[in-house]
Amino acid sequence: MGFEYIKALHIIFVVTWFAGLFYIVRLFIYQTEAMERPEHERKILKPQLDLMTYRLWYIITWPSAILTLIFGTWVITYRLGYLELGFMQAKLVFVVLLYAYHLGCHKLFKELQNGRTRWTSTQLRIWNEASTLLLFAIVFLIVLKNTIDTIWGIAGLVGLGVLLMLGIKLYKKYRTKP
């Protein structure tokens, strides 16, 4: 299989993986909020949300994470020299953090499937933004391929993180207004 096909498949599975990561945490928020509802509502919501998260997690998100790793490793075999470059090393650090985030989501998934929640919906909204920050870092690093631009990019990520947190706070105020 040619390099361009492998790279295309890698990008496709990165996209589907991120789609799964973005939506799974949104479902975690819904599950958490459903557990706060009256019993008659909870009996209806919890089984449906559990089924939706199960299907998303095991049919889309996990397979996409695994296929991303397979095709990403395959892409690197075509460009082994990239491993010596600072931008690629930094990108791979963010990729490792993304897999750690994925495993953190798996732990949350298991807890919520068992009817336990230790995070509030606001904490989960903040957690959800971590994948956004990682996405920005990875894309900017792979596109810019430059250490100086990477430093500016990381500074921009910090700024983006601050804006996301402010947005979450404003949204919380908006939601709690009568």
> Along the 178 residues of the chain, how does pLDDT read in single tens digits?
799 999 999 999 999 999 999 999 999 999 999 999 999 999 999 999 999 999 999 999 999 999 999 999 999 999 888 888 888 898 999 999 999 999 999 999 999 999 998 999 989 998 998 998 899 889 888 888 876 666 777 777 778 778 887 888 788 777 776 6
Q: Which amino acid is at 116?
A: R
SS3 134: helix
CA distances in angstroms from 113 to 9, 21, 53, 129, listed in the order given = 31, 16, 9, 22
Q: Which residues are annotated as a binding site?
A: 10, 91
Q: How many CB atoms lie within 10 A of CB 40?
A: 8
List residues forming the annotated binding site for heme: 10, 91
Nearest CA to 119 among 1, 37, 32? 32
- Residue 141's domain comprises 3-176
Give the number of domains in the chain. 1
This prediction has a pTM of: 0.84
